[in-house]
Amino acid sequence: MATAINPQAGTRRKPKQRRPRFRFTPYLFLAPALVWYLAFLVYPMYQSLTISFMDWDGLSANIRFIGLENYRRIFFEDETARRALWNNILWTLGTLLIPTTIGLGLAVALDRKLRGRTVLRALFYGPAVLPMVAVGMIWAWMYNPQFGFINYVLKAVGLGFLARGWLSVFETALPATFLTAVWGGVGFPMVLYLAALQAIPQEQYEAAKMDGANGNQLFWRITLPCLREATVIVFSLAVINSFKTFDLIYTMTYGGPGRSTQVLGTWMYFHAFQYYNAGYGAAIAWVIAMITLVMAIPYIQRMSRD
């Protein structure tokens, strides 16, 4: 007798696909850091943004909403704030030009096989790890008009007519503090450029030398193009740090003489904690934050792409 053949016989049923369960384990690990981040960064930022729209002395309960008045005052009424912004721009341009160039030159020189290059790298990088408050105090002593080291050396070599109170003269106060920033800021770009130089394949240099390239051609055609990514990072961090300048100015000149060396960071501090104008100080802080954020976009994009 013929048996009916079941066409579905011998076939296996596909197991039902289960939906992935939502697991809380990763979020439990992130929770402490997330709570800390929200409580001590996001919430204070929100509070300071709210205060920037207020007229408040920072102590009393008298708070009055004034909208964008504080921001309008920064750009259209406060001459010192505009001077501080201009000083920040000059500081940024100088930082992009001088410490970056010196750091690149030192990196190229110390990338070669030199005796004692490790010691030299440590010496040039050493000032970058010192607290800027300590650096400012040391250099403030060196600039002292009576017993400072700089005036002493000038008088010893017969250039006593150049001796002056470097931090008390309008024309020299800001350049003197910037020179201190250069001394303390050369090491960081040097280290970044050194790391980038060591990542360049040596075969490129060998092939170029076989084609007859000289030292200048090697630098401009191989070294500098290969340092493009490092240069973006160095420039971005230089701009960000320039607009966050506070400690050197506060330690060395206190914003003087007069208000000639005020930067946005010190002017924000004076208004928020000394003039009891918390709303205006918060507005200046958010101007610094917005400028820094705009300048940080190339750095963030480059790091995300890498």
Q: Report H helices in the chain.
A: 25-37, 43-51, 69-76, 79-110, 117-125, 132-142, 149-156, 170-185, 187-198, 202-210, 215-218, 224-226, 228-243, 247-252, 264-269, 278-305
d(CA 79, CA 66): 20
**pLDDT of 292 higher than 60:** yes
Q: CATH for 46-54+63-305?
A: 1.10.3720.10
Residue with tokens 């994009």: 301
**Residue 275 or 296, more confident:** 275
**pLDDT of 272 higher than 50:** yes
- State CA 53 to chain mean position distance: 27
Q: What confidence tens digit (pLDDT) does each residue in 93-138 have?
A: 999 899 999 999 999 999 888 888 889 999 999 999 999 999 999 9
pTM above threshold 0.75: yes
Handedness of CA 76, 79, 84, 87 (dihedral sign): positive
- Characterize 36-72 residue by residue with b for buried, 16 or more Cβ atoms within 10 angstroms of its Cβ, and e for exposed: eeeeeeeeeeeebeebbbbbbebeeeeeeebeebbbe
pLDDT of residue 306: 58
pLDDT of residue 98: 94
d(CA 98, CA 100): 5
Q: What confidence tens digit (pLDDT) does each residue in 173-221 have?
A: 999 999 999 999 999 999 999 999 998 988 888 898 888 888 888 889 9
Angle between helices 69-76 and 79-110 (to 10 degrees): 70
**pLDDT of 302 higher than 50:** yes
Domain limits, the chain: 46-54+63-305
